Structure 1
Amino acid sequence: MENGKYKIAIVDDENEILTMLQRFLNRNENYTVSIYSNPVTAVSTIDSKYDLVLMDIMMPQMNGLDALEKLMKKNIDVKVIMMTAFSTLDKVLKSHKHGATHYIMKPFDSLQAVDKKISEVLLLGN
C-alpha cells in the first residue's frame, strides 16, 4: 500500500477492458490504477510497490501464465488475479501453481463483482 492506497496493475491486450476497469476502479478512493497493454512491459515494470495485478491469460506478446511465472520469479509480494474468457481446468491449475491468488472469467458478471473479488484478495494480505 502506497500513500494509504492500494496500487493495482491491469495487464490486458484489449484496450476496452483496460479502459473499462481503470475507469471503474479509479472511482474507489482506496485504489491507484496503472494499465499495461503489453505483458512484457508489465513484467519489467511491476515491482513491490504494487499490491495487486489483474492479468489476462490470452495475450499475443506473452501469455499471462508465462508473465505470471516471470513476475513471481522477481520475488515481490504481489497478489495476482488471472482473467480469461477461455477457461480450462489446466489453466486454472497452472495459474495457482505459478502463484495466482484467484481466477475470474470474462466477460465479467459485473464490475461490482470484480471489485468485490479485488477487495477479498487485498484483505487476504492484511
Structure 2
Amino acid sequence: MSKKSILIIDDESEILNLLSRFLSRNPNFSITTYANPVSAISDFERTNYDLVLLDIMMPQMNGLEVLEKLKAKKEDQKVVMMTAYSTLDKVLKSHKEGATNYVMKPFSSLEALEKKVIEVLEQ
C-alpha cells in the first residue's frame, strides 16, 4: 500500500490526539487533523485526501453538513463517519449523503478502527 493521506475532523482534541498518535504508527498513513470543520473544509479544497474520518456531532457545523460539502467538492471521496450518538436516522442519512462507512465512539478498539480504515482505503 502506498502512503495514504487521512484527514480527521473532530471537535474533541482528545479524540484527535488519540487517533493521530495511533494511526501515525502505521508508516503508510499521513495524518492531518482539524478541530474546526470550517477550517478543514477550506484545507480540503487545497489538499487531496485518500480518506476522511468525520465526527457527526460538532458545535460549529454537524458532520452531515461537512459531508455534503466534501462530497460536492470530490464526489468519490471516501468518508468514515464517527459518532457517539448512534441514531439509526443519522447513520442512514450519512450513507445516503455518500459516507463510505461509520464507526461508533467510544471505539471498541483502536486496532479495529485501523482495520476498518485499511478496509475502506482498499475499496
Q: TM-score range by the shorter chain?
A: over 0.9
Quote the Cα distance in structure 1 between the aligned partners of 2:28 and 2:50. Answer: 12
Aligned twin of 1:110? 109
Write the letter of the residue equivalent to 2:112. Answer: A
Aligned twin of 2:89? 90
Q: How many residues align?
A: 122
Equivalent position SS for 1:95: helix
Aligned twin of 1:33? 31
Write the letter of the residue equivalent to 1:28. Answer: N
Unmatched 5+ stretches in structure 1: none
Quote the Cα distance in structure 1 between the aligned partners of 2:118 and 2:87. Answer: 25
Equivalent position SS for 1:25: helix
Write the letter of the residue equivalent to 2:68. Answer: E
RMSD: 1.3
Kept in 2, the 8 Å contact 1:51–1:77? The answer is: no
Tell which deviates more after alignment, 13-22 or 38-47: 38-47
CA 1:50–1:76: 2 relative to 1, 3 Å:
farther
Q: Cα offset for 1:78? A: 1.9
Q: Cα offset for 1:76? A: 4.9
Quote the Cα distance in structure 2 between the aligned partners of 1:66 and 1:18. Answer: 20
Q: Cα offset for 1:45? A: 1.1
Quote the Cα distance in structure 2 between the aligned partners of 1:41 and 1:99. Answer: 21
Quote the Cα distance in structure 2 between the aligned partners of 1:69 and 1:76. Answer: 9
Identity %: 63
TM-score by length of 2: 0.95
TM-score by length of 1: 0.92
Tell which deviates more after alignment, 99-108 or 76-85: 76-85
